[in-house]
Chains A and B, each alone.
Chain A
Amino acid sequence: MPLREPDDTTLLERLEKRDADALMGLYRRYSTRVYSLILRIVEDRSAAEELLQDCFYKLWERPHLYDAAKGTLISWLLTVARNLALDYKRKESRRGVHHVVLDNEPGEGPGIEDFAKATAGVEPEVAHAIRQAMDALPPAQRGVLEMAYFEGLTHQELAERTGESLGTIKTRIRLGVSKLREALRGFGSALML
């Protein structure tokens, strides 16, 4: 009979007792999703790997910062990862550094073409629902949402970049997020993101 994987709560309890294997268990469970988000934001494999380490190390160093009452662990990890990645990108941007690396490199992990394979078994229905909802948005609305989420632009920066008024940008964001929320409503508490 195969051993059942311990759940997040058990691993977190062990982690608080300084059990390194518990953190590595969580790393193996969530690293692909966290890394994918970081890579999408910073577009640099080497930097993304460092930030991935930092993200999990933060959980190791300060496990109490995660509050289970406020959401799932993966949601918290993704928020931390996004903040780390956006901070990094802003610093790099101030230094005038730009990366264009998204193709596969020899000896590296799988690339973008492995999306379908990598997502298999990892809440594919959630990813599918979100993708469908995004595809259904008007291009201008989708563009604003993606720029805000993946590039961390403020509503003023978005207005400057798109040449639209602040009010239009706010409306697009509100409507876009509302539609995503509707698309996810069916998943309820089972939503892992």
Chain B
Amino acid sequence: MNLTCHRMQEDWELYALGCLDEEQQQAMTAHLVSGCHECGQRYGEAQAAVSAMASLAPQVKPSARVEGKLRERLRMDLAPVREPGRRFWTLAPWALAAACLLAVIWMGMQWKLAEQRAELARAAIQRLNEQAASPSTAATPAQVEHSSTPAQPEQAFALKLKELADESERRQKELAARVDDLMRQVQDAQSAKAQTEHELADLHTQLAAARQSSDALEKQLREAKALDAGRDSQQVLILKAELAKSQAEARSLSAAAASGERLRQLLQAGNLQQVDLRAVDPGAGKAMARAIYSPQGGLLLVANSLPDLPSRKCYQLWIVRQGDPAILSAGLVQLENDGRGFLYAPPSAELRQLTALAITDEPAGGSISAHGHKLLFGTPATTPR
């Protein structure tokens, strides 16, 4: 777990609820995008709990018309995409093809009827010609003379039939020509239809490509935002580190100022004694300390070159005195970053009985009685002034 993870670990619940401010939300998104497994897991757990809150909403069924509307929306979406001005031209080939097909069927029926009529007429003419040529049925001149009048209607009928047959043939030819013409139109319409379908397929392809481009752009935008957020987050981290450094310096200066003030008060109080503490244990390294005290002014200790302690340990100052108990805590030494330590103890009666001072290492927070290593030790150098 790095610093970023540590800083974010308590905020995944708020992130899952979406209730952080935008800057924090973006920084955390960027961190997730960076692929941190541990944080991803934390977020996943928080997200599952947050999503489950939806079941707190009273369950209500939507009306049936919503389903109908959605289905209609999908139907419209699936319908071929057409530009408004192209609508007629897209529909026209279909309509034309259908009309041509109907016309062809109708003309086919007419052609068949005409053929049947022409066949009947040809059969009738054939029968009449056979009758006219047959000797048994051939009329004698007398008969011809007598029957000249009756024979004229038959000839007229035969002529009429011939005319009908000719007319039928002529109409047959005309219809055949028109059928050819319509067939050509059907072929043209089919070509136009194929062309339209081809254009439509192109449009669908272009639409799909446009959607893909749009998605890709959206993704890039999200990634860019995440990167920006990440950069912002880095800058914030740097600024925070600088701020922490400045605050530490300010604290150090403030402590030094406080020490100066206490030293001034001590000096004013008079009757001062000094204790120089020396390292008495290898663990103390080159550490050394000096304490100035007076029963009326309190005790001020300044230490130098104190070795770094583990975070679970601290330095504690003890007063060794003539009395019971013989060893009393004077407090915890406040450490600065550069190995310096300060301690101020308020005026007390115990300081009158002080015979020595000692510094030990104790568990963090300090001990009631000294159990740690005696690291520094010193006795008063002078008698009270």
Contacts and interface: CB of A to CB of B under 8 A. Distances in A.
A33 B54 contact: yes
Interface in A104-132: 107-112, 114-115, 118-119, 122-123, 126-127, 130-131
Nearest to A123: B55
A158 B21 CA distance: 12
B56 to A, nearest CB: 6
B50 interface: yes
B51 interface: yes
Interface stretch (A5-13, A16-24, A88-96): A16-24
Given A24-B71, A53-B69, A123-B55, A173 B14 contact: yes
B57 A24 contact: no
Interface string B48-82: 11111111111111111111011101110110000
A31 B62 contact: yes
Given A75-B51, A118-B59, A177 B13 contact: yes
A162 interface: no
A124 B224 CA distance: 42
Interface string B334-363: 000000000000000000000000000000
A164 interface: no
B61 A32 contact: yes
Question: Helix, strand, loop or mixed for chain A's interface?
Answer: helix
Interface residues of B, number: 43
A154 B21 CA distance: 7
Nearest to A72: B51
A177 B47 CA distance: 9
Nearest to A57: B73
Interface string B230-255: 00000000000000000000000000
A148 B18 CA distance: 8
B17 interface: yes
A179 to B, nearest CB: 9
A83 to B, nearest CB: 8
B324 interface: no
B45 A155 contact: no
B165 interface: no
B78 A18 contact: yes
A87 B47 CA distance: 19
A106 B14 CA distance: 40
Contacts of A78: 51, 54
B19 interface: yes
A75 to B, nearest CB: 5
B263 to A, nearest CB: 38
Nearest to B57: A40
Given A178-B49, A180-B49, A193-B52, 11 more contacts: A32-B60, A57-B73, A79-B51, A112-B60, A127-B56, A149-B17, A155-B19, A173-B14, A177-B50, A193-B48, A193-B54
Interface of B: 10-11, 13-14, 16-21, 44-67, 69-71, 73-75, 77-78, 215
23 contacts: A20-B75, A24-B67, A32-B61, A35-B61, A49-B63, A53-B70, A57-B70, A71-B51, A75-B48, A79-B51, A109-B61, A111-B60, A112-B58, A115-B60, A118-B61, A126-B55, A130-B52, A146-B56, A155-B14, A155-B19, A156-B21, A177-B16, A193-B51
